Structures are given as C-alpha cells and as structure tokens.
Structure 1
Amino acid sequence: MGITGFEFATATRIVFGAGRLAEAPEAVRALGGSKVLLVTGRDPTRATALREGLGRLGLSSVNFAVDGEPTVELVREGTALARTEGCDAVVAFGGGSALDAGKAIAALATNGGEPLDYLEVVGRGQALTKPSLPLVAIPTTAGTGSEVTRNAVLGVKDAQVKASLRSPLMLPRLAIVDPDLLAGAPRGVLASSGLDALSQLIEPLLSARANPLTDALAREGIGRSARSLRRAVLEGPDAAAREDLALASLFGGLCLANAGLGAVHGFAAPVGGMFDAPHGAVCAALLPATLEVNLRALRARAPSHPALPRFQEVAVLLTGRADARAEDGITWVRELCQALGVPGLGCYGLTEAEVPQLVARAKAASSMKANPLPLTDEELTEIASRSR
C-alpha cells in the first residue's frame, strides 16, 4: 500500500500499568485543577478511592453519574453543573459512556453553547474554538478506547440517532489505563467491551485510511485480544488477560481515531439511536456478516485492492495459524461471538421492516466513509438482515 502521508493525534500523555490509578490526583493538581467534576458510571462508589485521593491533596470534587449511554440532555445537565460549581478540571472515570460524557462536558464548559451547536449529522456542526477544561480520562472497561479519541458519541432521542461531537481540542490531557480496574468486571461487560475493542482493531487495519502506525498497533492489539478475550470472559480475567484486554482497547482507540473504522460502526451508530442497545454488543453482532460481505465485495469489484491480503493477515492473527485463509478468520469471529453469547440485533427490537430505514441511516454515518470500498444498498441490507 502506497503511503501518501498521515497524521497521528492522541491524548497529550498516556500512562499505562497496574496500580497507576494512584497517580491520578497528583496529575490533576499538576494540570492546575482545584475543583474537579468527577464523571463516573452509574455506581459512583467505584471512584471512592480516587475521590479520597483528590481530597488528600486539597482538591474538591463534584460527582456526576452517567447512567447509561450519554445523551444530549445528559451532557447539557453535566455542563450546567460544571459551570455552576466553578469546576476547573474534569476527571472521567468509567466505561466509554462516562468518558464520552466527560469529554463533551469539558469541551462545552469552555466553548459555551449547547451540544447541538457542535454535533455532526443532526446538529449545526460548528467547530469548537477553545481548549476544553483539563481532562483526565480513566477507563474502567476495555472496549471503547475513548480515553485517546477526539470525539464523544451522544444519543439524540428526537432524531433516534447517535452522532459525534468531534474536535482535536477534545483530546484528553492525560489517559490513565490501569488494567487492575478490570478485576471483577461482569462477564457481559467484558464480552461486549472486548468485542468492541476487537472490531476497533480489525476495521482500522482494513480501513481505506490505514497507515503504518495504526497498522502496527492494530496487529499487536488483535493478537492480544485473540489470545485473551475468550479466556477472560469464560474463566475470569487474570493479570495477564487484564493487561492484554486493556492494551487491545487502548490500541483500538488509537487506531480508530487515526485510521477510521468501517461498516460495523457505520451501522452501530444508527442502531444505538433507534434501540436501547449496548454499543459493544451491537458491534459484535454486526462484525461477522460485515467482514464476509466486505470480503466478497472486494473480490468481485476490486480484486487488486490492498485490503484483500489484510483479510488473510487478520485470519492469521486471530487463529495463530500461518496457513489460515480469510474465511478462517471470519469463522473464528463468528464462533467467538457464539461462545460469548452475543445476541442478534433482533433481541433489541430490530425487525426486517426496519432494515431499509437502518440502511439509509448507516449510509450517512461518518464511520462508513473509511470502509475499504463503498457497499451497495443490497450489500448493506444483507449485513443488517444477517445480523438480526
């Protein structure tokens, strides 16, 4: 694949390792924070040690819990709280929902206005012009990689869609990735988030915008996910598996932010807007059929496309077999989804009658632009129908 130049952007600083959460309070103080908006998942008690650590350094904190995936309304509420309380820093501690909410709140607190002023697709799409409040992002799941991306995905209930608030100004000042935070994670969360991470490694490797830096991260991440995800979910994540999953998630975030994604995430955004469905589980349900349809389309319409040999490379990385064919990798993904109990999209309410509406919305999604090649309406319909 010829290299025409590329850009790589990420959090100002990434700290990785078991026990590194303890460094967060001093890092917040070093960024100039004195009153912190602490954005958490639905259970704020998980952040008790972090809150106490901030307090020991004389930093006050105001808690804002995110119960479910973030919406425009929730971000409005969190931004108002940050402004009213005079917060000068944000710490986002939780899964992708908490991290995305924290990034959006940190941006809006300084830029003014409200989410729809800046949101893609259904908003006014204005550019953020001012740096966000200093933001420290600390993931407690291994899936979205949101700690190193420049966007926040928000649900817009009126439009039944999810769309991104996106700007380089939203990149966290610090990402702390501590694998120990995965200890005790529920099996369903490990499966859903882990499959989200895997899709965010495979899609950038096949992406029309792939580059050598994201390729290296994707290859490393796919190998780590392949050797540890099934075992972590079915047997519980030991220290080695926690490290593998945390790195796979981190690398997936770095890859998607710099090489784009594809049809899996092109569908996942409208599915998440139309139904109350967890993002990672949606991506997992879509991944096998999307890979199969993309592979067939490339062979039929673009047999010299540089993504084609990468399907075989993905298969080798997943199966660990040097002689693996592209189809073997797709079979491996399908069997993994079955082993981890991934349901079809029908369980969230998608009917065959709604497939045309879903296809129309997926075609407009920003992630679809990085798919290896444009898919026809018939191919997109096949993906949606087979993923039910």
Structure 2
Amino acid sequence: MSTFDLAVPRRVLFGPGRADELAGLLPALGRRVVLCTGRDPSRHRSLLGGVDPVAVVAVAHEPTVDEVRAATDTARAAGADVVVAIGGGSVLDLGKAVAVLLGNGTDPLDHLEVVGRGVPVERPAVPCVAVPTTAGTGAEATANAVLGSPEHGIKASIRSPHLLAAVALVDPLLTLTCPPAVTASSGLDALTQCLEPYVSPRANPATDAVAAEGLRRGARALRPAYEHGDDRVAREEMALCSLFGGIALANAKLGAVHGVAGVVGGMVDAPHGAVCAALLAPVVEANLRALREREPASPGLRRYADVARLLTGREDATVEDAPVWLRETVAALDVPSLAAVGLQPAQYAEVAGKAARSSSMQGNPVRLTEEELVAVLHAAS
C-alpha cells in the first residue's frame, strides 16, 4: 500500500472569469490588504474592486532577499493582515514570502536555504491569495518561494507548508495577453514541472495523477497557445498544466533541470522558463543514459516511456521519442540556448558543482555526476 502526504492550497478556484470573485473573497481573510504586483501595479488592480490596499509592492523580476525584506517592511508598517499577489511566478513568490514573514515576524535570511540560516517556519502565514497571470511556475500551488541572492550568485528557497496560499485563484483569461515569448518559456516550465515529478523517486499516486494529466494537456496545448494567444481552450489547458505541475512538484520534488536552472539563474539574467526549456531534452537524454548504464532495473525507465506516450499522444511511442519531441517543441517555440542567454563555457564547472548539491536534485531519478552535468550544459548551449 502507498503512504504519502499531499500538501495543497487551502482552497483552489479555477475557471475562466473567476478572477472577478477576488474582491468578494477578501473580507473573510483580512481587512488590510497589501497588493503584490509586477512592474505595472495598475494593470490588474481593478480586480480588487472597491478594496483599497494599504500598501502596494511591485517586483519586475525574480525577487531578491533585499526586495522581499523591503516589501515585508512596507507591509508590516502599513498593518497589512492579508496578501494579494497578482502576476507571474516571481510576484507570487514575493507574496507568499511576505505573508510568511508577516506571520512570523522574521527576516528572509532566517529561513532561506543555503545562503541563510534555514530555520523552519514555525507559525502560519497571514492569508495569501495567489492569482497567476502566466501559465508556468505553478507558484500558486507550491510550498516554497524562490529568492535571488546576487551576492552569492545563486537562487535559493524558503520552504514550508506555511507558504501554501490560502486561496489559489486561477483564471485562464488573465493569460490571454501573455506575449509569445512568455507563453513559450512559462509553458515549457509548466511542462517540466509535470515531467520531473512524474519520474521522481518521490512520486506517489496523487502526484502521478496530476502530473500525467498536466503533461497530456500541456503537450497538446502549448503550441496552439504560443501560435494563437487568443485561443481560450489552449490557455485553459496550459493553466491546468501549470496548476497541476505546482501541486506535483510541491509533493514529489523536481530534478536536474531545476537543479541546474536554479544555479544558472543566479549567474545570468535570463527567464527561468527559458533556461529550463534549454536544459529539458539534454537532461532527459543524460538521465536515460545514466539509468541504462547504472540502474537498468529502475522504474525511471518505465516512467520515461509513459512520458513519451503522454507527450506525443501515441501509444506506440518509445522512450527515445520523449527527448525528440522535446527538442522539436523547443525549436518550434524559438527558445534561446544557454549560450544565447549569456552562460559561458568557463562557467560550466561552477554550475555543475553547485547544481550537484542543489535540493532540487532530490527528485532526479538517478544521480548525475558533475561531469555528466557539464555535458548537459554543453548540449544545451
């Protein structure tokens, strides 16, 4: 019999038009709202209806430790007791981190992995409503917040069940205005976050169900969403893929794609999803080689065969069809290589060394050596 825990947001609201319900949710959660947004705070402020936030904080990129600290100080000084985060994954991570820090009276470095003290979060966060405007990170459903630490050249996470949003409000219509490049990079990130938990040794029947469904939906909808941004069916499928990926990774971990991407993201200024996309096929190929050479009886090989069938939609697909489909899709979506986003060969050894120690590697189906990770970086460039 399988035994597992399943951590999910307290409430998930999904569907076209459901963002209109946001203002009505807030009175039961708190009276003093801090709004976390992207670079244009006015863009989605109308979703709050007549609610006037006591503070507004914005982030135009993946939030740094200093930005989270400053946002928390602003929210605390305003007496905020509920956080509303409307935006992409970076905004949602900012909102979740602020909510936890408000609830605990602590500093980001108290809880941050690797570069901080890594102290467990002890008390609940103030309520956080996560409203994604991209279909990618699944941050509305994850129990972590990724923060940048420029002085250390790395991104690290605060992790705790207390980081789960009180409400994940997912309205696919909010993604209709995403430009093609964002649709591609965020969509491939969503697909990765279904694929890696599916082949993870920490997978369980619940994560298998959502990850497989996310792979199936994302594989058939990603290109239509990229080519026809106003395709509401494709946008809904991708929003589900992202949500399901967030649930899957929160409970079954990620693998080498994210282990490497987190390090690369701390060294070059590139969209996280684009980095994941460049790494995806090379990591799958490296994992398949390592499994065949070192762990031929591993269930990971069977799971990759499942992935091939889910991605291609063909029952006769073989394991080898998975990386082929991934390479073709990345090329069709015009995702840049690692070299194009600025990673240099001289940096590969440093990336591989840091990635090998990354917590994201916990979900990889086989341990990859630093030499194998360097080879992945060459293949992705």
Quick check: TM above 0.5? yes
The reply on whether 1:18 has 2:11 as its aligned counterpart is no
What TM-score, normalized to structure 1?
0.96
Q: Could you tell me whether the CA contact under 8 Å between 2:356 and 2:369 is conserved in 1?
A: no
For residues 275-325 of structure 1, the C-alpha deviation after alignment (integer angstroms, 9 at most, x for no partner) is: 111110110010000000101111111111011111111111111111111
Return the letter of the residue paired with 1:50.
L
Q: Could you tell me whether the CA contact under 8 Å between 1:231 and 1:237 is conserved in 2?
A: no
**Local SS of the residue matching 1:14:** strand
Q: Which runs of 5+ in 2 are unaligned?
A: none
What aligned pairs does 1:138-287 form with structure 2 within 5 A after superposition?
138-287=131-280
Q: Could you tell me whether the CA contact under 8 Å between 1:54 and 1:61 is conserved in 2?
A: no
Kindly state the Cα deviation for residue 4 of structure 1 after the two structures are TM-superposed.
4.7
Misfit runs of 4+, over 3 Å = none
Separation in 2, partners of 1:339, 1:237: 19
Partner of 1:34: 31
**Counterpart among 6, 28, 37 of residue 4 in structure 2:** 6
Kindly state the Cα deviation for residue 377 of structure 1 after the two structures are TM-superposed.
2.0
The reply on whether 1:361 has 2:359 as its aligned counterpart is no
Return the letter of the residue paired with 1:209.
R
Q: Could you tell me whether the CA contact under 8 Å between 1:151 and 1:164 is conserved in 2?
A: yes
What aligned pairs does 1:325-336 form with structure 2 within 5 A after superposition?
325-336=318-329
**Counterpart among 301, 304, 307 of residue 314 in structure 1:** 307
Separation in 2, partners of 1:247, 1:64: 27
Kindly state the Cα deviation for residue 54 of structure 1 after the two structures are TM-superposed.
4.0
Partner of 2:55: 62
Partner of 1:124: 117
Q: What CA RMSD, in Å, does the superposition of the two structures yield over aligned residues?
A: 1.1
**Local SS of the residue matching 2:43:** helix
For residues 158-215 of structure 1, the C-alpha deviation after alignment (integer angstroms, 9 at most, x for no partner) is: 1000000111111111100001101121111110100000000010010010111000
Partner of 1:46: 43
Q: How many residue pairs are counted as aligned between the two chains? A: 381
For residues 245-286 of structure 1, the C-alpha deviation after alignment (integer angstroms, 9 at most, x for no partner) is: 000000000000000010000001111111111110110010
**Counterpart among 360, 373, 378 of residue 380 in structure 1:** 373
**Local SS of the residue matching 1:175:** strand
Partner of 2:97: 104
Return the letter of the residue paired with 1:186.
P
Q: Which runs of 5+ in 1 are unaligned?
A: none
Return the letter of the residue paired with 1:337.
V
Return the letter of the residue paired with 1:23.
E
